[in-house]
C-alpha cells in the first residue's frame, strides 16, 4: 500500500495555483475554515513542545491492527482522525497516552514523543504521562459514587495533586467545558442525574481539571444530540489556547468544523494505516490520495 | 412563522391505558374464586384428600381457568404467557410457605419463654428447668456477637481483597485462586471445625476458646464474601476503571476511589451473605468453643457460648422448659441477624 506521509504543519500550506487547478470536490471544504493559513508558520510556545508519533504499530495478541503511523501534533492545534470503523484510529489514540496497554494482549512498536521524550521509554512514570495527556471517552463515564463537583475534582484526588483553591478550579473547568451555568446550583447532585450531553461535558471538565497538555477525544459526540455536539465543538475550539486536541470522529462535518489538521486512516484487511494527513481545508477540498477523496465525499466507507 | 409553545396543560390528567380494565380484573378474580370454591367440592367427591389435595386441585383449576380466559382474549399466543405467569406465582407461594411456617413456628414457640431476663442474665446460676423469669441467653448473645465480629474482621478484608485480585489484578494465580475459593465454599462446616480443632485446640493443649470458633467461622465466611465480592466487582463497567487511570491515577487509587465506591452496595451484600452464612453455624462451634453457661467477654482464654450452640445444648436436655428456652434462643438469633441486615442495608443506601 502506498502510504502518503506528510508532516502536519510543514505541508499544510497550499499554493494558489493548486486552488485554481482543482475545483473543490467536497461541499465540506467550505465548512472547513482555513485555519492552516494562520497556523502554517505556527511557532510553538516552547521549543520541542508538542506531541509526535513516530512509526507507531499496534497489536492485539497476534493481530496487527495498526502499522507505521507517524503524526505530528503541534501545540495550539486540533487534529481530527477520520476513517472507516476498524481502521485503528481509536487504537492509535490510545497509544498516545498509554491506555492501549490497558487491554490484555496489547502490544506496540514505535515512539511517541511528548515534549521530545518518548513516553514508552523504560522507567517512565505512566501516571505522569496520563496526567499530561488526558482523555475523553466515547461513552460519558462520570463516576457514579461522586457528585458533580467531586467528579470534576476527582483527578486532583486520584492523582494526589495539590490545588490552592478548589472552588476556583471547579468553576474554571466547568466554564471551559461549557457546563457551569447549567450545574452551578446543583454541584452536590450526582453526576448520573445529568443528561448525556451534560455528562460528556462533565467528563471534559474532569479531564481539564488536572491541566493536561494534550486532550485525546475518542468520538466524544457520537452519543449526543446536535445542540450538545455544537457546545462541545465550541469548547474544543476554545481549548486550543492551552491544549493540543486530538479527536477521533466519524462525523465529517465535525472534523471540518473543529480541526486544523485531518488524518485519514484506512485498513484494506491488513493493519490500519495513515493514508494522508494535511490541513483540514486541504483534505476536504483537494486530497492528494484518491481513497481520501472517495471517503470524504461519501463514495465509500 | 413561529408560534409560542403552549405551556399550560393544567387541565390534563395522567391516564394509564395499559392498566387492566375493571372487567378484566373481575374476570381474573372470578377464575381464582371459582377455583377456590370448586376445589373443596372436587376433593369431597374424589380420592383426593387433605390440604395438599386441596392445593393441588386449586392449582390445576386456576391454571386451566387462566389458560381458558387468556385463550378467549388473545388466542394461542397468550396461553404460553398465562401458563408461565401461573407457574411463577405458584412457585412463589410454594417458596413462601416454608419460610412463613418457619417464622411462625419460631416466633410462637420462642415467645413463650421470652422475658427481659433473656437479654440480661445467663445460665450460670439457673437450671434449665427453672421458671422462665430466671436465667437467660446473655452469654450466648454476647458470644454470637463476638464470634461474628471476629470472623468478619478476618474474612471481610480477606474476601474483598480476594475479589479485587480476581477482578482488578487478574494475576497469574487468578484461575487457581478462583478454583480454591469455589472448592472452599463446598467445605462442610464440621470439617472447618475439625480443622481448627486439630490445629489450634489440640495444638494448644485442649484450650477451647471463642477465637478458635471465630477462626472456624471465618473459614466458612471467606469464600462467600470473596465470590460475592468478585461477582459485584465484575459488574462495574470497565469505562470507570479506564476513566480513573486516564486521569493519572495509579491502579490502586482508582480501585479505592472509583471501583469500590461504585460497588459499595454490592460489597455490603457480600458481607451480609457472609454473616448470614456463619451466624447460625453450630457444628464447628461444638468442636471449638465447646459451650459455657457464664457470661464471658474474653474470646481467647476459655470456652464460650453462642446462640446456635445454646439452642442445641438446651434441646438435647429433653426437658420441656429447656426446649422452650431453646426456641427463644433461635428467635433471638433470627432477630439479631435481621437487625444486622437492616443496619447493613441502611448503610448501603445512597449517601446524601
For A180-233, write each residue's pLDDT tens digit. 999 999 999 998 889 888 999 999 999 999 999 999 999 999 888 888 888 889
The reported pLDDT for the residue numbered A238 is 86
Residues B73, B200 within the same domain: no
Whether B352 has a pLDDT exceeding 80, the answer reads: no
Does the CB of B254 have a partner CB in chain A at under 8 Å? yes
The two counts, helices (H) then strands (E), for chain A are 13, 10
Distance from CA of B9 to the nearest CA of A (A): 24
Number of domains in chain B: 2
Distance from CA of B338 to the nearest CA of A (A): 27
* Choice among B1-5, B141-145, B205-209, B271-275 with the minimum mean pLDDT: B1-5
C-alpha closest to that of B141 among B283, B328, B331, B333 = B333
Beta bridge partners of B234: none
Whether A5 has a pLDDT exceeding 50, the answer reads: no
Across B275-295, average pLDDT? 92
Whether A3 has a pLDDT exceeding 80, the answer reads: no
Does the CB of B261 have a partner CB in chain A at under 8 Å? yes
Average pLDDT of chain B? 91
Residues B150, B77 within the same domain: no
Higher pLDDT, A22 or B244: B244
The reported pLDDT for the residue numbered A38 is 47
Distance from CA of B230 to the nearest CA of A (A): 19
Domain membership flag for residue B5:
no
Across B58-76, average pLDDT? 89
Cα B59 from Cα B40, distance rounded (Å): 12
* CB within 8 Å of A73: residues ≥ 6 apart: A8, A50, A51, A52, A79, A214, A244, A246
Domain membership flag for residue B17:
no
Taking the domains of chain A in order of start, what are their residue ranges?
16-41+49-296
Residues B93, B156 within the same domain: no
Residues 123-152 of A with CB under 8 A from B: 127-128, 130-131, 134-135, 137, 139, 141, 143-146
Domain membership flag for residue B270:
yes
Does the CB of B258 have a partner CB in chain A at under 8 Å? yes
Domain membership flag for residue B77:
yes
Residues B170, B256 within the same domain: yes
Residues B91, B151 within the same domain: no
Query: In this complex, which of A131, A145, A146 lies closest to B248 when CB atoms are compared?
Result: A131
- Tens of pLDDT along B179-221? 999 999 999 999 999 999 999 999 888 789 999 999 999 999 9
Residues B187, B294 within the same domain: yes
From residue B223, give the alpha-carbon distance in Å to each of A124, B163, B262, B278.
39, 10, 22, 12
By residue range, what is the domain housing residue B40? 24-112
Does the CB of A191 have a partner CB in chain B at under 8 Å? no
Domain membership flag for residue B223:
yes
Does the CB of B264 have a partner CB in chain A at under 8 Å? yes
Whether A135 has a pLDDT exceeding 60, the answer reads: yes
Does the CB of A117 have a partner CB in chain B at under 8 Å? no
Contact A97 B262 (CB under 8 A): no
Residues B265, B325 within the same domain: yes
Q: Calculate the dihedral angle through the C-alpha atoms of B14, B20, B25, B28, rounding to the nearest 10 degrees.
A: -160
Query: In this complex, which of A102, A154, A190 lies closest to B247 when CB atoms are compared?
Result: A154
ipTM: 0.82
- Tens of pLDDT along B147-167? 999 999 999 999 999 999 999
* Residues A110/A55, Cβ–Cβ less than 8 Å: yes
Domain membership flag for residue B311:
yes
C-alpha closest to that of B340 among B145, B180, B106 = B145
Residues B166, B86 within the same domain: no
Does the CB of B235 have a partner CB in chain A at under 8 Å? no
Domain membership flag for residue B232:
yes
Q: Does domain A16-41+49-296 have CATH number 3.40.50.300?
A: yes
Contact A137 B249 (CB under 8 A): no
Does the CB of A186 have a partner CB in chain B at under 8 Å? no
Which residue of chain B comes nearest to A135, CA vs CA?
B246
Contact A139 B170 (CB under 8 A): no
Phi, psi (rounded to 5 degrees) for A255: -55, -45
Residues B68, B209 within the same domain: no
Residues B235, B180 within the same domain: yes
* CB within 8 Å of B320: residues ≥ 6 apart: none
Residues B100, B155 within the same domain: no
* CATH assignment of the domain containing B219: 1.10.3720.10
Domain membership flag for residue B217:
yes
The reported pLDDT for the residue numbered B181 is 96
Residues B176, B80 within the same domain: no
Amino acid at each position: 500500500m502506498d502510504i502518503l506521509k506528510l508532516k502536519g504543519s510543514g505541508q499544510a500550506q497550499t499554493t494558489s495555483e493548486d486552488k485554481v487547478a482543482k475545483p473543490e470536490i467536497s461541499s465540506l471544504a467550505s465548512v472547513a475554515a482555513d485555519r492552516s493559513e494562520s497556523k502554517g508558520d505556527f511557532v510553538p510556545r516552547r521549543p520541542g513542545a508538542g506531541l509526535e508519533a513516530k512509526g507507531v504499530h499496534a497489536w492485539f495478541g497476534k493481530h496487527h491492527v495498526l502499522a507505521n503511523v507517524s503524526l505530528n501534533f503541534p501545540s495550539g492545534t486540533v487534529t481530527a482522525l477520520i476513517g472507516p470503523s476498524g481502521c485503528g484510529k481509536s487504537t492509535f489514540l490510545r497509544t498516545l497516552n498509554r491506555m492501549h496497554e490497558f487491554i490484555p494482549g496489547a502490544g506496540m512498536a514505535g515512539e511517541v514523543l511528548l515534549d521530545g521524550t518518548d513516553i514508552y521509554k523504560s522507567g517512565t512514570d505512566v501516571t505522569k504521562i496520563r496526567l499530561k495527556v488526558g482523555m475523553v471517552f466515547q461513552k460519558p463515564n462520570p463516576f457514579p459514587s461522586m457528585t458533580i463537583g467531586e467528579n470534576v475534582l476527582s483527578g486532583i484526588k486520584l492523582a494526589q495533586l495539590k490545588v490552592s483553591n478548589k472552588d476556583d478550579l471547579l468553576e474554571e473547568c466547568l466554564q471551559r467545558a461549557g457546563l457551569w451555568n447549567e450545574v452551578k446550583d446543583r454541584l452536590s447532585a450526582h453526576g448520573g442525574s445529568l443528561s448525556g450531553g451534560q455528562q460528556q461535558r462533565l467528563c471534559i471538565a474532569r479531564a481539564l481539571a488536572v491541566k493536561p497538555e494534550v486532550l485525546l477525544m475518542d468520538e466524544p459526540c457520537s452519543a449526543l444530540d446536535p445542540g450538545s455536539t455544537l457546545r462541545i465543538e465550541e469548547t474544543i475550539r476554545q481549548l486550543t489556547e492551552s491544549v493540543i486536541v486530538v479527536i477521533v470522529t466519524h462525523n465529517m462535518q465535525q472534523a471540518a468544523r473543529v480541526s486544523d489538521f485531518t488524518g485519514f486512516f484506512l485498513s484494506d484487511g491488513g493493519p490500519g494505516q495513515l493514508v494522508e494527513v494535511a490541513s483540514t481545508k486541504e483534505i476536504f477540498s483537494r486530497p492528494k490520495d484518491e481513497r481520501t477523496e472517495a471517503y470524504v465525499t461519501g463514495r465509500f466507507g | 412563522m413561529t408560534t409560542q409553545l403552549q405551556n399550560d396543560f393544567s387541565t390534563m390528567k395522567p391516564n394509564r391505558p395499559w392498566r387492566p380494565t375493571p372487567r378484566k380484573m373481575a374476570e381474573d378474580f372470578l377464575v381464582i374464586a371459582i377455583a377456590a370454591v370448586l376445589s373443596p367440592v372436587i376433593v369431597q367427591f374424589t380420592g383426593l384428600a387433605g390440604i395438599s389435595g386441596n392445593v393441588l386441585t386449586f392449582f390445576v383449576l386456576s391454571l386451566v381457568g387462566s389458560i381458558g380466559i387468556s385463550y378467549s382474549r388473545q388466542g394461542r399466543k397468550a396461553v404460553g404467557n398465562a401458563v408461565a405467569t401461573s407457574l411463577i406465582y405458584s412457585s412463589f407461594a410454594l417458596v413462601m410457605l416454608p419460610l412463613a411456617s418457619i417464622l411462625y413456628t419460631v416466633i410462637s414457640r420462642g415467645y413463650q419463654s421470652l422475658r427481659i431476663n433473656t437479654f440480661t442474665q445467663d445460665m450460670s446460676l439457673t437450671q434449665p428447668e427453672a421458671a422462665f423469669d430466671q436465667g437467660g441467653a446473655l452469654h450466648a448473645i454476647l458470644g454470637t456477637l463476638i464470634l461474628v465480629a471476629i470472623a468478619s474482621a478476618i474474612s471481610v478484608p480477606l474476601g474483598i481483597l480476594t475479589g479485587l485480585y480476581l477482578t482488578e489484578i487478574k494475576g497469574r494465580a487468578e484461575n487457581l485462586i478462583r478454583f480454591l475459593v469455589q472448592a472452599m465454599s463446598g467445605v462442610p462446616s464440621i470439617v472447618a471445625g475439625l480443622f481448627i480443632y486439630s490445629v489450634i485446640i489440640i495444638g494448644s493443649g485442649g484450650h477451647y476458646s471463642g477465637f478458635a470458633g471465630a477462626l472456624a467461622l471465618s473459614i466458612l465466611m471467606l469464600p462467600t464474601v470473596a465470590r460475592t465480592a468478585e461477582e459485584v466487582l465484575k459488574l462495574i463497567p470497565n469505562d470507570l476503571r479506564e476513566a480513573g487511570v486516564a486521569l493519572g491515577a495509579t491502579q490502586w487509587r482508582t480501585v479505592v476511589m472509583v471501583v469500590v465506591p461504585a460497588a459499595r452496595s454490592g460489597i455490603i451484600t457480600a458481607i451480609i451473605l457472609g454473616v448470614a452464612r456463619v451466624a447460625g453455624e453450630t457444628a464447628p462451634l461444638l468442636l471449638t468453643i465447646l459451650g459455657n453457661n457464664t457470661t464471658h467477654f474474653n474470646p481467647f482464654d476459655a470456652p464460650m457460648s453462642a446462640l446456635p450452640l445454646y439452642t442445641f445444648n438446651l434441646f438435647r436436655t429433653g426437658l420441656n422448659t429447656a426446649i422452650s428456652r431453646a426456641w427463644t434462643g433461635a428467635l433471638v438469633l433470627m432477630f439479631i441477624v435481621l437487625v444486622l441486615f437492616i443496619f447493613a442495608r441502611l448503610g448501603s443506601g445512597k449517601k446524601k
